[in-house]
Structures are given as structure tokens and as C-alpha cells.
């Protein structure tokens, strides 16, 4: 008797197929040795031929931190290989990304010291750092690169929250919407193709859409951070944008990371309010959420491979514990396999260079 005969599609012991829903497959396949799954795993060209998921450069969005008041790019200690740009170096970086066929960037502004206030007013200043950076990139690259703008005020407030505070120190949702509307119009005027409200305020997409339309920017798209979780993986990002959060947790407005079904309600609301694209953030710890959202969403779904996810790979690679580029490819491909149509990642440039150099994808 063949000792491997049991390694086929057998009755699972409960009267049904071992793999539910695979009755047709069962009828068309025989067990080992007639079926040898390894036939399609070698050579490498065969694996590439039958790969179910491919990570392409066209799937990537590169975040850019642009800081006011610096003369040269400044390294971010907790994000190896990443910097705070000047406007000029941001333009140079965008030209390089475009040469690699990376299709989009998302801009985060970091105001100069002393420019933060309780309402984050520099976020909608026509001469603010984000607006100047967007304008410079658009002037240099025109329509060859999609320019997105993160739409939040935590980088611009002296308390580090994503909204204005009421007298009790709680984020005032509805008052914040008025500021988001101003920021959206300011970013669109600067040339942003896409504005991306990320503060998880109720009604933020509707407020932004109405403001854009009223100001004549009906063609400016909205990427909503529809399912943004109160994660512990944002630490390096806060270093990158110089944010220190005052008392009062963001758990009051960001999603509880224990909940998945709630994300579907958030996405549905944002799409109904006018979101053109939606995003799940973070990515790796929320692959199940990406899968659920992507299977139900009527608009394209992205995922944000966040700073902590990036930094962990970099730190382990620096210690020699893992093959950094291989793990990064595996992680980003898993995000796409879960259903993300695009991935915002700090590894965009290095992955694009890795693929351009002809390295194997899997």
C-alpha cells in the first residue's frame, strides 16, 4: 500500500469534502502519485508562470516627509534609509521615483519649529510646507506622477492630536471638520491630485467632498483612511513628523484594533460620503481586514505598510537575522494577496530598484 495514498482530496471524516467548495476540483484531480504539486514549483520560470499574485512597481505609493526650515535632508533614526526632505530634495526624489515607474507619492509636511498651534493653522496656509512641496513636485513632473496629500493636522498642532480640542481636552469632531475642509481646498489649489483625510473624524469625507466641489475642485479625488486602527506600530512615523501626543488617547477616534466588522461599516460610510479610494492602516496585522474590505468595497482598496512594520524589517536585517529585501517583498506581496490594489510603503523606492535590477520575486 502506498504510504502517501492518503495525501489527496479525501473525505474529511464528517461526510463532506476535506476542502469545502472544491467538489469540481475533486472530480478533476487524482491523488498522489498521479498528482504531484511540486511539478509547478520548478524551475523558477515555472513558478513565475503560475504565480497567483505579483507585486509590481505600479502597485506602490511612496510617502514623502518634507520639513520646513532645513537646508539638507535629515535622517530619521527610527526609520533606516528614510529622511525628512527639503522641497528641492523631495523634487529630486520624485524624479527618481518616476524614473523607476513608481506611480504615486503621498506628501506629509513637517512645519518649522515654533509654527505649531492649537488648531494646526499652518496645515491650510497657502505658503505652508506641504503646499510648497506639492506645487514644486507638480511643476517639475506635471502629470507623470500622482501627487497625494495626507490630510490631517496632527503634524501642525501643538498637542499632536488629529483634531482641535474642546475645553475638556477631547477632540471636537465637528469643529475639526471645518478645518479639514480648509486643508483640502488648500492642498487642491497647490496641485494635489488626491487628498487623503486620515484623522478618522466622523463625516470627514463628506466635509472634504463638499468643500472641494464648492471651490471648483470636483476632479480632485479623495483617498480615505477609512479603517485606521489605534495601533502601536506608528512610533517611527511620529519621530518622522515630530509629533508628541498630549494626554488623551487616539483610541477615542481611531478604530479599536480588536474589531474587524467595524471596518466594513467605516468603509461603507466613507464610500457613501464620496470617497474615491479607501485604505486600511496598518497592513500586516490587518490582512484579514484588507481581505474583508476588498471583497465588499465598490471602490479601489489600498493598505498602508506603516513605519513600525517597515522599521522591524530594517532592524532585523541590520542584525543579520533576516534577508531584508526578501522579507520586504514577501510582506508587501502578502498585502497585495490579501486584496490591496495599492500599497503605501516606505520601501517603495528600494523595492522598485530591486525589481528593476532583475532580482527574483519569489
C-alpha cell belonging to residue 251:
483610541
At 245, is the pLDDT very low, low, confident or very high (cuts 50, 70, 90)? low
CB 161 within 8 A of CB 173: no
C-alpha cell belonging to residue 113:
519649529
At 28, is the pLDDT very low, low, confident or very high (cuts 50, 70, 90)? low
The answer to whether residue 7 scores a pLDDT higher than 50 is no
Q: What are the beta bridge partners of residue 314?
A: none
The stretch 49-53 carries a mean pLDDT of: 94
The size of the chain, in residues, is 362
Among 77, 67, 146, residue whose Cα is nearest residue 108: 67
> What per-residue confidence (pLDDT) applies to 115?
81
Q: Quick: pLDDT tens for 311-322.
A: 999 999 999 999
On the 0-12 / 13-18 / 19+ scale of CB atoms within 10 A, 236 is buried
Q: Quick: pLDDT tens for 287-305.
A: 999 999 999 999 999 999 9
Lowest mean pLDDT among 14-18, 54-58, 71-75, 354-358: 14-18
> What per-residue confidence (pLDDT) applies to 292?
97
CATH (residue range 57-356): 3.20.20.70
Share of the chain above pLDDT 70, in %: 88
At 241, is the pLDDT very low, low, confident or very high (cuts 50, 70, 90)? low
> What per-residue confidence (pLDDT) applies to 116?
85
Cα separation, 309 vs 266, in Å, equals 23
The answer to whether residue 1 scores a pLDDT higher than 60 is no
The answer to whether residue 233 scores a pLDDT higher than 50 is yes
Helix axes 324-337, 348-356, angle to 10 degrees: 100
Q: What are the beta bridge partners of residue 304?
A: 344
Which residues does the annotation mark as catalytic?
Answer: 228, 281
Average pLDDT, the chain: 89
> What per-residue confidence (pLDDT) applies to 3?
42
List Cβ neighbours of 40 (8 Å cut-off, separation of 6 or more): 46, 47, 50
b/e code 280-303 from CB counts within 10 Å (16+ = b): bbbbbebbebbbbbbeebebebbb
> What per-residue confidence (pLDDT) applies to 293?
97
The answer to whether residue 9 scores a pLDDT higher than 60 is no
Residue boundaries of the structural domains of the chain = 57-356
Share of the chain above pLDDT 90, in %: 70
> What per-residue confidence (pLDDT) applies to 11?
40
| Strand duo 83-85 + 74-75: pairing | antiparallel
Write the DSSP assignment of 295-338 as a string of letters.
HH-SS-EEEEE-HHHHHHHHHHHHTTSS-HHHHHHHHHHHHHHT
Q: Residue 105: phi, psi to the nearest 5?
A: -130, 160
The answer to whether residue 356 scores a pLDDT higher than 50 is yes
CB 78 within 8 A of CB 139: no
b/e code 47-56 from CB counts within 10 Å (16+ = b): eeeeeeeebe
> What per-residue confidence (pLDDT) applies to 173?
93
Cα separation, 126 vs 134, in Å, equals 11
> What per-residue confidence (pLDDT) applies to 77?
86
Lowest mean pLDDT among 18-27, 206-215, 244-253, 276-285: 18-27
Amino acid at each position: 500500500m502506498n504510504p502517501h495514498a492518503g495525501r489527496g482530496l479525501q473525505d474529511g471524516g464528517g461526510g463532506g469534502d476535506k476542502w469545502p467548495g472544491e467538489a469540481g476540483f475533486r472530480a478533476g484531480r487524482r491523488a498522489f502519485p498521479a498528482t504531484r504539486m511540486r511539478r509547478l514549483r520548478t524551475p523558477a520560470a515555472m513558478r513565475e508562470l503560475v504565480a497567483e499574485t505579483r507585486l509590481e512597481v505600479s502597485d506602490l505609493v511612496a510617502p514623502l516627509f518634507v520639513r520646513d526650515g532645513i537646508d539638507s535632508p535629515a535622517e530619521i533614526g527610527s526609520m533606516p534609509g528614510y529622511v525628512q526632505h527639503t522641497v528641492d530634495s523631495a523634487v529630486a526624489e520624485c524624479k527618481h521615483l518616476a524614473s523607476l515607474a513608481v506611480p504615486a507619492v503621498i506628501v506629509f509636511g513637517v512645519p518649522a519649529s515654533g509654527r505649531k498651534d492649537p488648531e494646526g493653522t499652518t496645515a491650510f496656509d497657502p505658503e505652508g510646507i506641504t503646499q510648497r512641496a506639492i506645487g514644486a513636485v507638480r511643476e517639475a513632473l506635471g502629470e507623470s506622477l500622482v501627487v497625494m496629500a495626507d490630510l490631517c493636522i496632527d503634524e501642525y498642532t501643538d498637542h499632536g492630536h488629529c483634531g482641535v480640542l474642546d475645553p475638556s481636552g477631547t477632540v471636537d469632531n465637528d469643529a475639526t471638520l471645518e478645518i479639514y475642509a480648509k486643508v483640502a481646498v488648500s492642498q487642491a489649489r497647490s496641485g494635489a491630485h488626491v487628498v487623503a483625510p486620515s484623522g478618522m473624524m466622523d463625516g470627514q469625507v463628506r466635509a472634504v467632498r463638499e468643500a472641494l466641489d464648492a471651490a471648483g475642485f470636483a476632479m480632485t479625488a479623495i483617498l480615505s483612511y477609512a479603517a485606521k486602527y489605534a495601533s502601536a506600530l506608528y512610533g517611527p512615523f511620529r519621530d518622522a513628523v515630530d509629533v508628541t501626543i498630549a494626554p488623551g488617547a487616539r483610541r477615542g477616534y481611531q478604530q479599536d484594533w480588536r474589531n474587524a466588522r467595524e471596518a466594513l461599516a467605516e468603509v461603507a460610510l466613507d464610500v457613501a460620503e464620496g470617497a474615491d479610494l479607501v485604505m486600511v492602516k496598518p497592513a500586516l496585522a490587518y490582512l484579514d481586514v484588507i481581505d474583508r474590505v476588498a471583497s465588499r468595497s465598490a471602490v479601489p482598496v489600498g493598505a498602508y505598510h506603516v513605519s513600525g512594520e517597515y522599521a522591524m524589517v530594517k532592524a532585523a536585517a541590520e542584525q543579520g537575522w533576516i534577508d531584508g529585501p526578501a522579507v520586504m517583498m514577501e510582506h508587501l506581496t502578502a498585502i497585495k494577496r490579501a486584496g490591496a490594489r495599492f500599497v503605501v510603503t516606505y520601501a517603495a523606492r528600494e523595492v522598485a530598484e530591486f525589481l528593476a535590477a532583475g532580482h527574483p520575486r519569489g
